[in-house]
Every structure is written in structure tokens, then in C-alpha cells.
Amino acid sequence: MALYRDLVGRTWDSGTRQWTFSDTSLYALGVGAGGDDPADELEFTTENSAGAVPSVLPTFAATLVSRRAEPALGDFDVSQLLHTQQSLTLYGPLPVEGAAATTSRLAALRDRGSSALAVIESSCVDPATGRPLADIRTGLTIRREGGFGGEPGEDEPWERPEGEPDHTVDYRTAPNQALLYRLSGDPNPLHSDPAIAARLGFRRPLLHGLCTFGFAGRALLRALCGGDPARFGTMSAHFTAPVFPGQDLTVRIWERGESARFQVRAQGRVVLDRGTFVRRATGSGSGG
């Protein structure tokens, strides 16, 4: 088994994704919008509610990159591949109906000793105008494939602020949350098939990491942006422990001016760690 190290720096076309409000509202339901109160967040879940202008949750951008378009990173056992890091930067609110053409590159293969970390950077633009929509950075850990003599690389420094968080947001995921989320384009059976989950050592199917990421994005949007997608800038986090559908999530946010640090906990464990968020300056080129 081996990693294809000569792929580092290579770019590929990740395809063009088109969407309508049916897609973005389904995504919103998949990350819990309206789950606690169906009359809340109607701008993301309905297109015909009085006083609610249809809008797109910013973390919908994470679904614009197709994993199916990725080249094989090696001939290793794919069950050893874990999605462990995610970040996205928005250049303005996403349109309710639109399209994104995405180009991706393998930015790095980092040697972390017992494992390798593949870093994929993707840029999404409006195919009609070339206007940038979002940049997405994905970290994939490949267990048992480290020790190849590569550079380990370094993560951005991060420390949890002292003291209690400035904002704490609690959510309950639904027992069928993973079944809802998979309809936004991630049909990995680990999140739906009990037999597959058991084969990989889990007592039942897991919630998608990007679903937990979306729940955290909703909390950041409300607590730090006043619910305005135009103010949502950059969000990043590391996935550190599995979440099972039906579990409660607690998003803990420490504000630091226009930026923030955050963590997400479930069942007393940190499941999203090293979270950072930066508000976007509005007033120029927001589009949408």
C-alpha cells in the first residue's frame, strides 16, 4: 500500500453544482434548522413565509465540492480514511438559486507518524461571472500510512480561552438526522447502514461530521452575525470524536472582537475542537 505523493500540487476539476431553494432548504433541515421550533429559521426552510426572505445557510458551501471527483490518493484501505479537518471562507451570501464551478488541488501530504494527512484546497466560483463564492479546505487523515519521510507540517496555534464562553447554544439532533443530512449528497453507508457501522466498530451509524459542522455554523450565525449570512466569513474546526444521531450538541463560543473560538461537545466529550470563526466585513461585493 502507498500514497501517491506525486499528486501533491496537482489540480482537478471538481465539477459544477447547481442548486435551488429546494436543495438549500433540505440542507437546512439536515443540519437541524427548525428542529427545536419549526417557526424559527423560516428564511432557511421555507420560501413563502411572511416576513422571512429566503436565504441560504452559509455552511451549505461545504456541500459544493464533490468527493466523487477526487483522484485516488493511494492504494490504501479506504476504511482507514477519516475526515478530520474542515474550513470554509465565504465571499458573500450564497444565492438562493445558483451554480458553483469548483477547482481543487492536493495542497499537501503531511507525515504525522502513524498516519498521513491529505490537505485538499477547493475554490468555488460562479461559472457565469467568475465571481468567487467560497474557498474550502478539507483535511483527510489516512491511518497507518504515516512514516513515509514527509514533512509533518504544523496546525495553526489554538488555545481554548480561559473562563466561561460568551455564548452557549444547545441543540438536540434527531434520531433520523443522518438520514436527512445524507440527502444533501453524502450517501456514505457508515451513516445509515447498521451492518457497515458494526463492521467498522461502531454500535450504530454515525452522524456526518459535516452535519455537526453545520449545527455549529447555525450557532455561530445566530450568536455572532445576528442571523445575517452576509456577515459569515471563515469557519474552521477539527473533528475529534463521533456523534450519534439523537445526541445533544452544545456549542461553546468565546468572542474575541471580530473573531471567535469555539468547541462542540456531545455526551461530555469534545466532538468539534480547535474551532475558529472570523466575521466578514460587509459593504462591498457581497452579492447574492
Q: Report the percent of the chain where pLDDT is more than 90.
A: 85
Q: 2 pLDDT exceeds 80?
A: no
Mean pLDDT confidence for 148-160 = 90
Mean pLDDT confidence for 237-246 = 97
- Write down the pLDDT at residue 283: 62
Count CA atoms closer than 13 A to 123's CA, side-chain side: 10
Assessment of whether the complete model's pTM goes beyond 0.85: yes
Element (H, E) at 108: strand 98-111
- Write down the pLDDT at residue 285: 41
Q: Per-residue pLDDT tens for 107-133?
A: 999 999 999 999 999 999 999 999 999
Residue 104: phi, psi to the nearest 5?
A: -125, 160
Q: Per-residue pLDDT tens for 21-41?
A: 999 999 999 999 999 999 999
Q: Which three cell numbers stand for residue 206?
A: 454515525
Question: H helices of 13-141, where?
Answer: 21-30, 42-45
Q: 71 pLDDT exceeds 90?
A: no
Query: Whose CA is closest to 87, among 44, 122, 48, 117?
Result: 122
Query: Whose CA is closest to 161, among 236, 241, 259, 232?
Result: 259
Angle made by CA atoms 196, 197, 199, in degrees to the nearest 5: 65
Spell out the residues 6+ positions from residue 50 whose beta carbon is closer than 8 angstroms to its own.
none
Q: How confident is the model at residue 286 (pLDDT cuts 50, 70, 90)?
A: very low
- Write down the pLDDT at residue 43: 98
The three-state secondary structure class of 165 is: coil
Q: 1 pLDDT exceeds 70?
A: no
Q: Look up cell 456526518; give the residue.
A: 208
Q: Per-residue pLDDT tens for 211-230?
A: 999 999 999 999 999 999 99
Q: How confident is the model at residue 287 (pLDDT cuts 50, 70, 90)?
A: very low
CA distance 137 to 156: 13
Q: 282 pLDDT exceeds 60?
A: yes
Q: Per-residue pLDDT tens for 160-207?
A: 999 999 999 999 999 999 999 999 999 999 999 999 999 989 999 999
Work out the number of other CB atoms within 10 angstroms of the CB of residue 10.
Answer: 11
Q: Per-residue pLDDT tens for 250-269?
A: 999 999 999 999 999 999 99
Spell out the residues 6+ positions from residue 198 whose beta carbon is closer than 8 angstroms to its own.
none
Mean pLDDT of the chain: 94
Element (H, E) at 133: strand 132-143
Q: Look up cell 444521531; give the residue.
A: 245
